[in-house]
Amino acid sequence: MEDPESAGTAPPGLSSLLPPREFLRSRKGQLLLAESVLSFIIFICYIASLAASFMMAPLLEFLLALFLFFAYASRLNEKFKGVHWPLADFLRCVTAAIIYFAISIAAVSKYGDGASKAAGVFGFAATIVFAIDFYITFNDLVTFLKQGSSDSPEGHKTE
């Protein structure tokens, strides 16, 4: 039997779950990874703070960012054409930026413990990361919508 490492292919297992390196080096991959990490840190900070009522928003954003990270890494956006991926990603980023900004202001101003303040500071950083992502995604969305409108110009004519 030949050793799998000498054949030049990675052995099946945990390494097959890791995203490809080219996706991790892409701007979208780095943004989704940063969003996931920041959301998880904010979630942990809210659990340890007096502002534990805010912990659901970072948990949901962490799970959504993680799902989209693996969806884009495994190219699900190319396989499932029925889902408007740029629009879904844009709406996720806009709502996350607004929610993080609002709960960060509340956590910093209303609660005095250190974990709430840390969650607020990380929340402001997450707001900036999500804002950058929705700006980039907006440009992709405009391109996506322009391609959709130029595909069938006869379909828009009335009788």
pLDDT digits (tens, 9 = 90+) for 63-90: 999 998 888 888 887 888 887 788 888 9
| Nearest Cα residue to 129 out of 106, 111, 110, 104 | 104
Is 3 part of a structural domain of the chain?
Answer: no
In this structure, is residue 80 part of a structural domain?
yes
Task: Please tell me the predicted confidence (pLDDT) of residue 120.
Answer: 93
Contacts of 152 (CB under 8 A, 6+ apart): none
Nearest partner of 58 among 42, 70, 69, judged by Cα:
42
- CB contact set of 132 (below 8 Å; sequence gap of 6+): 31
Domain presence at residue 7 = no
- The answer to whether 20 touches 73, Cβ cutoff 8 Å, is yes
Exposed/middle/buried for residue 137 (C-beta within 10 Å: 0-12, 13-18, 19+): buried
56's tokens: 């659901």
Looking at residue 81, the DSSP 8-state letter turns out to be T
Q: With respect to residue 106, please indicate whether it lies within any of the assigned structural domains.
A: yes
- Tell me the residue range of the domain where 57 lies: 22-146
The number of distinct structural domains making up the chain is 1
- Is residue 70 in a domain? yes
The DSSP H or E segment spanning 128 is helix 114-151
| pLDDT band (50, 70, 90) for residue 22 | confident
Q: Which pLDDT tens digit goes with each residue over 125-155?
A: 999 999 999 999 898 788 877 887 665 444 4
Residue 158 confidence (pLDDT) above 90 = no
Cα-Cα-Cα-Cα torsion 29, 35, 40, 43, nearest 10 degrees, comes to: -160
Query: Given this model, what pLDDT does residue 159 score?
Result: 39
Which is more confidently placed, 69 or 105? 105
Q: What local confidence, expressed as pLDDT, does residue 127 receive?
A: 96
Q: What pTM was computed for the model?
A: 0.78
User: What percentage of residues in the chain have a pLDDT greater than 90?
Assistant: 45
With beta carbons less than 8 A apart as the criterion, state whether 103 and 123 touch: yes
Share of the chain above pLDDT 70, in %: 81
* 13 within a domain of the structure (yes/no): no
Q: Does a structural domain hold residue 64?
A: yes
140: helix, strand or coil: helix
Higher local confidence (pLDDT), 15 or 102: 102
Top pLDDT among 157 and 47 is at 47
Residue 20: CB atoms within 10 A of its CB come to 12
On whether residue 83 sits in a domain, the answer given is yes
